[in-house]
Amino acid sequence: MSLLFSNPEFIRNARIQLRSRRLLAGGVISAVASITTWESVMHADIDFRFFGLRGAGAVFALCLGAQICIALIGGGICCLLSVQREKELNTFDYQRVTRLTSFELAIGKLFGAPIATYVGVLFLMPVALIAAAKGHIPALLVLEVYVLMLIGCVTYHAFALMISVLLGRSGTVLAILFFLAIVLLSAQRNLYIRWRIQSLSPFYVMDLLNGYAYRMMDRVGFPIWPDGFFDKHVAHWIVFSLIHVSLTTWFLIAVRRNLKRDPSIYEVYSPLQAFLFSLYLSVLMLGFFPWSTIFVRGTVQFVDVITAATPNSIEQSLLEAAVLLFGALGLTLLRSRERARQRVRELGERAAGWLAAIWPTPYLVAAVAALSGAVILLIGKYRDAGSEWNLHLALYEAVFLCVWLSRDTLYLQWMGVRRGKRTLVAAVLYLTIFYVSLGVLFGSLNLFNQPRGAAYTALLLPMPVFGMEPSLWSQAPRLWIGALFFQAASALIFAGLQRHRLQEFLGRPPARAAG
C-alpha cells in the first residue's frame, strides 16, 4: 500500500481530480440520487423488484449496479484517456525521462487515473450498506460482491491503460467504442455457454444477488454452478479472482514494457512473453472446455436439435476457437518498419536473412503444435473416440491451420515493412476484402458443398477445412494435400518478399548479399 499512496504519479492524479469543488459536487449529486432512489423504491405503489430483491434489497441491488457502471465504464474510460491525453498535449515525453520506473508509473496511472470514479463509488456506499442491512443481505455476500467487483474492474482498467499506451495521437473515439464493446460482450451470458465457466464480467456479482433472492423464496433463479477445470469442480469466486489477477499482471507487463519506449518501436510483448501468454490462454480454453458433457446444437429441417459431439467436431471447434487466439498472437509479434530497420542496423546480416524473413512463424508453429497436441491427447483421455476418430484428418487440420496462419502473418509482416503510411492497416483491409469476396463468390457457386469443389476452394480459403467430415476427405485426399502445399508455397513467396525488403535496409539487393 505504501508503494501506491507514496507514488508521485498516483498523488499527481489525485490532486488533479480530487479538488474540493469536484468532491462537493459529487457528494451532493450522490446524496440526492441516494435519497431519491430510497424514497422511490421503499414507498412505491407496486411490488418493485430488482434482480429478485425487493424493498431495501432492491435499493442495494440498484446501488451496486450503479457502482459497477461507475467503476467499470467510467474508470475504464479514464484509464483509456490517461496516456492518450498526455500524447495529445505533448507532455508524454516528460514521463519518459522521469526518475520513476515504468512499473511505478504504471501503478500510479492504473489506480490514479480512475480515482474519481472510486470516490464516486464510495459516495454511494452509505445508502448501499444501509440497504443491505435493512434487506437482511448476509455480510459475507456483501463483502464477496464488492471484492469481486473491485478485482474485475481493475483488470478492465489495466486493459484500457494498455490500449492507451499503445494508441497513437488519434483514434480516441474508436478506442472508447472498442472498450465499451468489450465490456458489453463480456457481460453476455451466451458467451460462456459452451464452456464450463460462469461470467467473468464484474456484472457477474448481480447474478449472485439474484441467486440469493431466489434461494430465499425457494425458487429457481439463475443457477450458480461450480466451474469445471479439466472436469474438476472449482468454486467460481476462486476462478474469477485468479483469472482476473493473472490477466491484470499480463496487461501491466505490456504497459511496463512500452511506457517509456519510443512509440515508433512499440511492441506489446516480447516474443517469448507473447508466446507464453498464448499458451496461458490455451490452457484456459482447454481447461474449461466441457470434455465429458459436450453437446452440439444444430438444425434439422428447421428444428433445433442437440446431439452428442463427435471427437472430430470437438477437435474442429477447438481449432476454430484457436484461430482468433493465434491470429492475435501473430499480430502481436509483427514488427514495424522502424523496428525491423533498427534490428538490421544492430545485427546486420543476421536480421536480414531467411530466418528473419520467416518471422514470426516459428512462434506460431510452436503454439499451434502445442495446442493441437494437447487437443489430441485430451480427446483420447476424455472421449471414447473409437471408429469415429480420424487421427490423420485431425493432424491435417492442425497442419493446415499452422500453414494458413503463417501465410497470412507473413503477408501482414511483409506489408508492415514496406514504405508508406498505415501499411499494416491497409494490409488488414485488403485481406478482409479478399476473404469476403471469395467467400461470396464460392458460396454463390455452391462449391463448399461439393467434395472436389471444397478442396479447390481450400487453395485460397481455410473455411472448408475446419468443417470437413472424414467422408469429404476420403473422396479427394490428393486435392486436399495439394491445397496444403499451395498454402505453404504462398507463405514462402511472402517470406521471400519480406527478405527482399530486409535486404534493402542493408543498402544492397538480395543477390549481392547472397554472393
Q: Which residues pair with 49 in a beta bridge?
A: 54
pLDDT at 304 exceeding the cut of 60: no
User: Alpha helix (H) ranges present in 334-360?
Assistant: 337-347, 354-357
pLDDT at 241 exceeding the cut of 90: yes
Nearest CA among 487, 492, 486 for reference residue 354:
492
Max avg pLDDT among 68-77, 78-87, 167-176, 326-335: 68-77
3-state helix, strand, coil in the chain (%, to 5): 75, 5, 25
pLDDT at 416 exceeding the cut of 90: no
Amino acid at 503: Q
Higher-pLDDT residue of 492, 225:
492
pLDDT at 288 exceeding the cut of 80: yes
Cell 477445470 belongs to which residue? 229
pLDDT of residue 94: 72
Distance CA 438, CA 383 (A): 36
Report pLDDT digits (tens) over 20-51.
888 899 899 989 988 888 888 887 767 677 77
What's the rounded mean pLDDT across residues 356-376? 89
Report pLDDT digits (tens) over 431-440.
899 989 988 8
Report pLDDT digits (tens) over 494-503.
999 999 888 8
Cell 508455397 belongs to which residue? 489
Going from the C-alpha of 269 to that of each of 12, 27, 45, 250, 439, the distances in angstroms are 28, 41, 57, 9, 33
pLDDT at 469 exceeding the cut of 80: no
Q: Which residues pair with 233 in a beta bridge?
A: 228
When mean pLDDT is compared across 33-47, 218-232, 270-284, 478-492, the lowest value belongs to 218-232
Residue 219 banded pLDDT, cuts 50, 70, 90? low
Cell 458443398 belongs to which residue? 449
Strand 295-300 with 232-234, pairing: unpaired
Report the mean per-residue pLDDT for the chain.
83
SS3 for 206-254 is HHHHHHHHHHHCCCCCCCCCCEEECCEEECHHHHHHHHHHHHHHHHHHH
pLDDT of residue 245: 96
Going from the C-alpha of 85 to that of each of 82, 164, 171, 486, the distances in angstroms are 6, 9, 12, 47
Distance CA 275, CA 374 (A): 16
pLDDT of residue 295: 53
Instruction: Kindly state the percentage of the chain with pLDDT values over 70.
Output: 89
| Contact assessment for residue 256 and residue 103, using Cβ atoms and an 8 Å cutoff | yes
Distance CA 3, CA 508 (A): 52
Report pLDDT digits (tens) over 112-152.
889 999 999 999 999 999 999 988 889 999 999 999 999 99
pLDDT at 293 exceeding the cut of 90: no
Q: What is the DSSP string of 418-478?
A: SSSSSHHHHHHHHHHHHHHHHHHHHHHTT-TTSHHHHHHHTTT-SHHHHT--HHHHHH-HH
> pTM (2 decimals)?
0.85
Question: 3-state class of 315 per DSSP?
Answer: helix
pLDDT of residue 233: 87
Residue 508 banded pLDDT, cuts 50, 70, 90? low
| Contact assessment for residue 309 and residue 294, using Cβ atoms and an 8 Å cutoff | yes
Residue 273 banded pLDDT, cuts 50, 70, 90? very high
